[in-house]
Amino acid sequence: MKANQTVLKEFILVGFSSYPHVRTFLFVLFFGLYLLTLTGNLAILGLTWADRSLHTPMYLFLRALSFSETCYTLTIIPKMLADLLT
């Protein structure tokens, strides 16, 4: 019995270029999640900064995580959304 000798040399990711209605739906979906994520993280940052009783180590750690996720979100998602539009 012979084994399959096929070797994969390249992989082409087609994406959604032939389905513009799917691209529009995904753009709206990801943009909505982007805004929701930013709103939540900015709310956590604002509340932990404004309320003095939340200046405990647990909330400061939560604030640091929220800040790092905000920076990550502001960097990655706009590039992804721009790729969906092109």
Query: Structure pTM?
Result: 0.73
The confidence score (pLDDT) of residue 7 equals 80
Q: Tell me the per-residue pLDDT of 44-61, one tens digit each, with 9 for 90 and over.
A: 999 999 999 999 999 999
CA-to-CA distance for 12 and 68, rounded, in angstroms? 33
Within-domain flag for 47:
yes
Q: How many domains does the chain have?
A: 1
Within-domain flag for 36:
yes
Q: Other CB atoms closer than 10 Å to residue 69's CB: what's the count?
A: 15
For residue 26, give every residue at least 6 positions away whose Cβ sits within 8 Å of its Cβ, in sequence order, or none.
Answer: 16, 84
Within-domain flag for 34:
yes
Distances (CA, A) of 85 to 11, 16, 26, 39, 49: 23, 10, 10, 23, 36
Within-domain flag for 60:
yes
13 pLDDT higher than 70: no
Which residues constitute the domain of residue 59? 20-85
> Phi, psi (5° rounding) for residue 13?
-95, 110
Within-domain flag for 41:
yes
Mean pLDDT, the chain, whole residue set: 88
